[in-house]
Amino acid sequence: MSWVGAVVRFVMATIVLMLLGYVVPGFSHLGFWSALLAALVIALVGYILEAMFGKAISPYGRGLVGFLVSAGVIYMVQLVVPGMHVTILGALLAAFIIGLVDLIVPTAVR
């Protein structure tokens, strides 16, 4: 993935995290700075997990394991980001919606 794709994915994640509070039960409403911090922490944890376990563990691996890891990462980020509160169901729904948006929004630059 190019740096432009990474920036697009990061901006998309910030916007989606801001909107999730309005559509996902069990997911708190996040302001811009909280969503930006959450997107940064999610990206950092995702990068570390991907470096340790390979692409199959990442949400971009598109498998059940990647989905569950994404939900777990979203759930754990609430420990770091002030004002973010997520239930387990909220984390599962958020991971599903983020995965759908990721499929729709093109991040590959040709």
And the tokens for 8? 């697009």
pLDDT in tens, 43-101: 788 778 777 776 655 555 556 777 888 889 899 999 999 889 999 999 999 888 888 88
And the tokens for 105? 């929004």
- Computed over every residue of the chain, the mean pLDDT equals 80
DSSP letters, 66-103, are: HHHHHHHHHHHHTTTSTT--B-HHHHHHHHHHHHHHHH
Determine if the pTM surpasses 0.75.
yes
Q: What is the pLDDT of residue 2?
A: 65
Q: How far is CA 104 from the centre of its chain?
A: 15
In angstroms, the CA 91 to CA 73 distance is: 8
Spell out a b/e string for 69-84, using b for 16 or more CB atoms within 10 Å of the CB, else e: bbbbbbbebbeebeeb
Q: At 102, is the pLDDT very low, low, confident or very high (cuts 50, 70, 90)?
A: confident
In angstroms, the CA 85 to CA 110 distance is: 38
Q: What is the pLDDT of residue 91?
A: 92
